[in-house]
Structure 1
Amino acid sequence: MTKSRYFLLIIILGALTALAPFSIDMYLPGFPAIAKDLRSNIAEVSLSLSSFFIGVSAGQLLYGPLLDRFGRKRPLHIGLVVYLLASLGCVFATTVEALILLRFLQALGCCACTVAATAMVRDLFPIEDNAKVFSALLLVVGASPMLAPAIGGYVSEFLGWHYIFIILTVLAAAILAASYWALPESSEPDPHYSLMPAPIIRGFLAVVKEARFTTYAVAGAIVFGGLLSYVSGSPFVFLEIFKVSGTQYSLIFALLAAGLIGAGQVNSQLLKKYKSEQLIVVALIVQAIAGGILVAGTTKGWIGFSGTLALIFVFLSCAGFIFPNASALSMAPFSKNAGSASALMGALQMGIGALASVAVSMLSKVYSNTFPMTGVMAACSVLALLVLLTGSRVIRAKAARDESPEALATEMRA
């Protein structure tokens, strides 16, 4: 594969992966304007964020089998068309209920992009390069939290929030054209792959039974829940508690996202010397420590604005190491049913992310401080570390059994 071809694939796959976070981050600064225009409040408008998470989580389970049955591109294109039409619908939404429904439909289309992109990484690149490729995708995806809130803030202020969804519609059309003309079909349709419920469920169960997938996909998904806790809780923490302006909030969001992006690129270099299994453990330990200090420091008033920013920066930087390695390790055991594995991994991420977002919202009704955001972030990092350490022991025990003389003799007889 030539360098120019490699670069083009990374850009397109990165754009596909970035569409969902861009759809989330871009309209966050427009919440007050949306609430005012739709005669609602920010709490009700935030339900459109929850419905998006639910749609992405549920939709990925639908697209996984479709990608294995019909190839990667046809389901991808259908999903992009659904996203495009739903985005247009959001432009003309006149009630918050309509916006919540249309955001759900938008998510159902958008999730095809995430599933297809992850499966295509497994299809198109050597397995030993997958972690590096996911780190490269993180560079493209990382542009979302840096650019989207700033763009959304200015667009909402000077043009109106409707134009946010117009921009998303145009963006989807551009990605659709690029994927149609420049993205290869990486997996031929499999007419023998059944779309009946029972075989699909058996396929997902086969993925879940793989200890490496369960360990790394669940740990990565819980860390993703910590990230979405920050995304959903940061508007209140920075805008209401620390009293920053909308423009300042956009800059803070971009600055903190730089940690996530930069760590992903450092991860690519460290992979030349260390294994993904080593990097992900260290990153989770550091993230759990940072999360614990963050929740204690902000709740007790030990740290101020600068200390909060610094610890969130460390937390997100650790996520930049965790995500690409968790994705590569989760997908490594699969080739034939990579679509189903990718879908299940994405569904776990968005499902746990949705639960974390709801947890932040529910805690915000009880606590009017930073605890809802920082508490859920810390809990996610600690829980993910426990899952990783427990799962790693299971993986090592299974590997020892498989390499035992009895297992090798049985394999030779078979």
Structure 2
Amino acid sequence: MSAPKSSLPNKPNAADRVRSADLPVAWIMMLGLIVAVGPLSIDMYLPALPSMAEDFGVSTAFMANSVPAYFVGLVFGQLFYGPFSDRVGRVKPLYIGMTLYVIASIICATTDNEYVLFVGRTLQALGACVGAVVTRAAIRDRLTAKQTAKAFSIMILVMGLAPILAPSLGAIFLQFFSWHSIFWFLAAFGTLNLLLTKFFFFETLTEENRNIRPAKEVLSQYWDLLKDPTFNYPAIGGGLLMGAMFVYISSASELIMDTYGMSATHFGWLFGMNAAGFVGLTQLNQWLTNRFRILSILRFGAMMQVISAGALFGLGVVFGTDAWLPLVLACIFFCIAGLGLTQPNASAIALAFQKRRAGMASALQGSLMFSVGIFGGLLLNLFPVNPVLKIGIAMFALMSLGTYLIWQIDRNLNLDNAE
């Protein structure tokens, strides 16, 4: 049975997958708070990059390398937590990851060396990524494929507030305190996650569903996942689409604040508008999944993103930095908002047929996203062209490939037969 919507579930039976019309909404929203530590850590300090660069005596572009440094931690951390959570359950990894996150946040808050900051950011990500891995796997433990798509939409409603509010919150901190205060706040949020884990996160993976294959076989199990067509097309395709957003995150400060001269406060508002579009479409996705096939919604969202990225690429080619800013922002908005239709559904399809390796599947899917983010950041540096064109090239290339893979998903895939 599902938990009532008004309360958190009382130690749900992991073997009992919810099949009623109701979802454990309070439990899912609590998971959203846990996973929100990721977008908060990425987005909250973005308005501070220019002032951090000034303090460390480097350029904003150099300081922006702390973003891909964070992505590196996300890639490798998720690959560890996935099989670990499949073996020992979902609770222990959360304690380990969140404790590491709090320690790393304190390192970032107290350092006066840019390279120590980069290391601290990587350690921060190694801790934070446990939330995304474990919450996706826990949802897969309890829910069916269609309910999983809806659950991801609900969870994004909560965690989606982070990228909407984070840049503005960071800008507010900068008005009254130094950039160090942002990392102290993140350390406190990590402590909140430890408390949520202690009092409200109950084990969802039963002993009989745990993966007991030897740890030395982890690489071969990941390889088996990559060869599975029920996983690889939606996971890699969705990863490319989501990874393109991280290209934007890596370059947003340079584009909006340096190139177009926006203030930190206005940057926060503009960044929040994109995140609001993303969250809005995830909520629309809940309604759409009751009326259309998940795969059809996924394909529509992918087309919306690639067309918008193509328009941005065109603006960069024709006008460069003389492109009208509202038009540039509109293209970026639809690229990011379209994720609300692609990410919940791509994730649901990728995890639908995974059972004993749901944690590994969740981890590999997340690692693919951030690997694309790292690659996209490097791709940006390869083109000595104007910032608008650089972002347009990277986002259009990644989204085109992602859309192609989405269209390769078997149209006859029967998600109702997923275990």
User: TM-score normalized by structure 1?
Assistant: 0.91
Seen in structure 2, the aligned counterparts of structure 1 residues 159 and 195 have a Cα distance that, compared at 3 Å, is farther
Residue 234 of structure 1 pairs with residue 252 of structure 2 = yes
Q: What's 1:196 paired with?
A: 215
User: What displacement does 1:244 show?
Assistant: 1.6
Residue 2 of structure 1 corresponds to which residue in structure 2? 4
Aligned to 2:49: 31
Residue 120 of structure 1 corresponds to 138
**Structure 1, residues 212-258: CA drift from partner, whole Å, max 9, x if none?**
21000001100111111111122122112222211111111111211
The 5 A counterparts of 1:166-315 are 166-189=184-207, 193-197=212-216, 199-301=217-319, 304-315=324-335
Structure 1 residues 220, 8: CA separation in 2 closer, same or farther (over 3 Å shift)?
A: same
- In structure 1, give the amino acid aligned to 2:225: V
Equivalent pair of 1:30/1:153 in contact (CA under 8 Å): yes
Matches within 5 A, 1:335-350: 335-350=355-370
Aligned identity (percent) is 30
Question: Given that residues 316 and 386 in structure 2 are in contact (C-alpha distance below 8 angstroms), is that contact kept between their aligned partners in structure 1?
Answer: no
Distance 2:115 2:316 in 1: 35
Rounded to whole Å, the distance in 1 between the matches of 2:284 and 2:269 is 23
Is structure 2 residue 346 aligned with structure 1 residue 326? yes
Residue 351 of structure 1 aligns with an amino acid whose one-letter code is S
User: What is the CA-CA distance between 1:83 and the residue it aligns to?
Assistant: 0.5
Question: Could you say what the CA RMSD is over the residues aligned between the two structures, in angstroms?
Answer: 1.8
Structure 2 CA distance, aligned partners of 1:231 and 1:192? 36
**C-alpha deviation, 1:368, in angstroms:** 3.0
Q: Partner amino acid for 1:158?
A: F
* C-alpha contact 1:131 1:325 (8 A) present in aligned 2: yes
3-state SS, counterpart of residue 3 of structure 1: coil
Measured in 2, the distance between the counterparts of 1:314 and 1:173 equals 35
Give SS of 2:206's match. coil
Cα distance, 1:260 vs. partner? 0.6
What is the CA-CA distance between 1:127 and the residue it aligns to? 2.9
Cα contact 2:60–2:254 (8 A) shared by 1: no
Task: Give the whole-Å Cα distance in 1 for the aligned partners of 2:60 and 2:213.
Answer: 44
Write the letter of the residue equivalent to 1:173: T
**Stretch of structure 1 that moved more, 151-160 or 332-341:** 151-160
- Counterpart residue number, 1:405: none
User: Structure 1, residues 115-151: CA drift from partner, whole Å, max 9, x if none?
Assistant: 0011011012233300000111111121122111011
The 8 Å contact of residues 295 and 411 in structure 2, kept in 1 or not, is answered as no
* TM superposition shift of 1:396: 5.2
Does residue 1:61 correspond to 2:79, yes or no?
yes
Distance 1:118 1:334 in 2: 12
Tell me the distance in 2 between the aligned counterparts of 1:25 and 1:314.
19
Match of 2:69, SS?
Answer: helix
Structure 1 residue 24: deviation in Å?
A: 0.6
Match of 2:183 among 165, 170, 180: 165
**Residue type of the alignment partner of 1:196:** A
| 1:40 is the counterpart of 2:42 | no
Paired residue type of 1:148: A
Deviations 1:84-122 (A, max 9, x none): 111111111110010011111111111111100110110
* 1:16 Cα deviation from its structure 2 partner: 2.2
CA–CA distance in structure 2, aligned partners of residues 38 and 236 of structure 1:
17
5+ residue gaps, structure 2, are 9-23, 415-419
Partner secondary structure for residue 338 of structure 2: helix
Shift of 1:192: 6.6
Q: Distance in 1 between the 2:344 and 2:172 partners?
A: 31
Question: What is the CA deviation profile of residues 256-291 of structure 1, one whole-angstrom value per residue up to 9, with x for unaligned ones?
Answer: 211111111111101110011001111111221111
**2:165 maps to 1:147:** yes
**Contact 1:44 1:96 survives alignment (8 Å):** no
Q: Distance in 2 between matches of 1:160 and 1:192?
A: 46
Say if 1:263 and 1:318, in contact at 8 Å, map to a contact too: yes
Residue of structure 2 in register with 1:368 after alignment:
386
Structure 1: stretches of 5+ with no match in the other structure: 400-414
Paired residue secondary structure (2:387): coil
**Equivalent of residue 354 in structure 1, options 374, 390, 408:** 374
d(CA) in 2 for partners of 1:192, 1:320: 32
Could you list the per-position Cα deviations for residues 189-217 of structure 1 after superposition, in whole angstroms to 9, with x for gaps in the alignment? 578724532x1122212222220210000
Partner residue in 2 for 1:381: 399
Q: Structure 1 pair 398/24, CA: closer, same or farther in 2 (3 Å)?
A: closer
Distance 1:275 1:381 in 2: 22
CA contact (8 A) 1:33 1:156 kept: no
